[in-house]
Every structure is written in structure tokens, then in C-alpha cells.
Structure 1
């Protein structure tokens, strides 16, 4: 039996989920006019797409999570670099990299990765949901402002520190409900 690649397996799951949704919509009784409305169809599609996305992210980044659970953040960063070549610009990769770097004490790079992740996908700031990292981001902002804020004020000529503090303020504004 030929081995299926992860990508083809995920595409098959998406096709099956879409087919099941179409079948449900076609076989529903026409008694309820709300069931026929386009808004419900779009809501179902959106929900299915989100569920498929969460399953995809969990499957793709499972090796990184396993390396972190083993206590091997350097190997997890290397695995993220490898996955970054396959999925360039994926917000979840930046988010995980930020988490790892924060754990390693590299705050400026952690902050930069969180900012990249949120600029690509704001779902990580949702109050509830499988992708929410709101609490971790709030803790990072608080830690960063308490540690880096005084340093930036005492060293106004340090441009990299000023950029990091600006990124912290960006994260802070997104937490407060601000948009791009």
C-alpha cells in the first residue's frame, strides 16, 4: 500500500468534510427558511474551515510540540526552521518560535516573532478557542515592559531596544482590541 503524504491526507480530509457539509445542506428539509439562508451556509463553511485549519496545525507542528515536551528547545527550533521551508509565512510557526525563544530568555527575538504571528493571523488573540495565546502574550508584554522599558529610557540611542519596545506597544494595543 503506498504511503500518503501529510499534505495529501489533509486535502482528503478537507474534501470529505466539504462533501459531508454539501450532503447535509442538500438533504435538509425545506421547512425552515432559516436553514436555507446564505448566512447559515457561510457560518457552517467558516466553522468547518477553522476546524480543518486547527487539525492541520496540530498535525504539522506535532513534532515541534513533542521536542518541547522532551525538553529540547534547540531541536524544536531546528524543526521549526525545517517546517518553515515547507510552510513559509505560517503564523503558527512564528508563534511557536516566539514561545521557545521566550522560554530560552531571548525576549527581543521572542517579541519579534509574536508580532509577526499576530500580523499574519489575529486568531491567537481570541478570548476562547483552540488557537488562543492571549494569556501568554499578555504575560510577555508585562515582562517585556517591566524589563526592557527602563533600559530603553536609560539608553535612548539604542535603536534595536527602541524597536523592541515599539513592538511591545503594538502587542499591547492588539491585546486592548486595537487593529492593524
Structure 2
């Protein structure tokens, strides 16, 4: 018959064996996730960007549809409504710029594109799903030609000079420049 000392050792041995068995059978997190690996953060960033892009496309789809059908006034009204719901969203500024560009309103289109690009630089990145490189490039090319001629005729006009500064800013961003 075992004495108390033997029973104490036997209980201790069973506790240690049970603890080891628990450690071995418990699933362990991956090493990258445990240390906040770069791969996890990059994937999370990519998922957030994709979700944001899908959200913007879904939210602003009525504006895009109205613009495509040539209903610019209705599209601008819908943008105004969405602007109250999502204030400061650069995508609205970019779409407003495209609508104004379609109406040949170079100065307000330029100002709208500048607000959008300052809010999110992805709009001048040709590889981004949000890219509006072509529209912005078009407003810069045509704007420099048209507004540049107007500035030569009216060099004291401060609004034309401001538009030229905006056009140069957009041109710089298209060329890969920073803020």
C-alpha cells in the first residue's frame, strides 16, 4: 500500500502529464499571426482597399448611371445628396469633376479634381482601381491650353491664376509628384 509521499508524487506526475497533453493537443496560432506578420497586415490592407472600392462603386452607381445617360443636372443633385451623407469623401469630388469636364466647365472641374486628389492620391495612380488618370490628364491638357490663353489675355485675373496653380498641381501629381 502506497504511503502519502508516494500518492503526492503520483498526483503531481498526473498533473504534469495532463498539462503536457493539454499543451500538445491545443492548436497553436501561426507564427506570422502571433507576431503581427507583414503578410497579414498587407492582406488586411488589400482587403480594406477592395472593400472601400466596392463600397464607392455601389454607393455612387446612381451618379455614374445618370452621368452616362447625359443627365448631368440630376447627377450633380445626387452628388450633393451623397455629399451630405458622406461629407469629405474625395470620390464625390472626382465624379463632380468628371461631370463638369463633360460640360466643358474647366475651372470648376479643375478645382473639384484637386480636392479629390488631395483627399486620396489613388485617383492619379494608373494602377489603382480608383484611377481617374485619363480624366485628370484630359482636364490638365485642355485646361492648360484654354486657361493658359485666358491668363495671357487677363493676367490680373486671380481666379484664372488659381486655376493655373491647380492645373500645375494636377500635372505634378500625374507625373508622380507628391503633395
Q: Distance in 1 between matches of 2:46 and 2:52?
A: 10
Q: For structure 1, which segment, 79-88 or 153-162, has the greater mean C-alpha deviation from structure 2 after superposition?
A: 153-162
Q: Distance in 2 between matches of 1:38 and 1:167?
A: 41
Residue 143 (str. 1) matches residue 145 (str. 2): no
Partner of 2:102: 103
TM-score with structure 1 length normalisation? 0.79
Q: Distance in 1 between matches of 2:49 and 2:137?
A: 24
Q: Distance in 1 between matches of 2:32 and 2:59?
A: 37
Q: Distance in 1 between matches of 2:138 and 2:103?
A: 15
Larger Rg: 2
Residue 115 (str. 1) matches residue 101 (str. 2): no
Divergent runs of 4+, >2 A: 27-30, 33-37
Shift of 1:91: 0.3
Partner of 1:47: 46
Q: Distance in 2 between matches of 1:160 and 1:28?
A: 63
Shift of 1:29: 8.5
Deviations 1:7-39 (A, max 9, x none): xxxxxxxxxxxxxxxxxxxx9985xx6787611
Shift of 1:153: 2.0
Deviations 1:52-93 (A, max 9, x none): 000100111011111112220110000000000000000000
Partner of 2:160: 161
Q: Distance in 1 between matches of 2:56 and 2:28?
A: 32
**Aligned residue pairs: how many?**
152
Contact 2:32 2:40 in 1 (8 A): no
Partner of 1:56: 55
Q: Map of 1:7-18 to 2, 5 A cutoff?
A: none
Question: In angstroms, what is the RMSD of aligned CA positions?
Answer: 1.8
TM-score with structure 2 length normalisation? 0.80
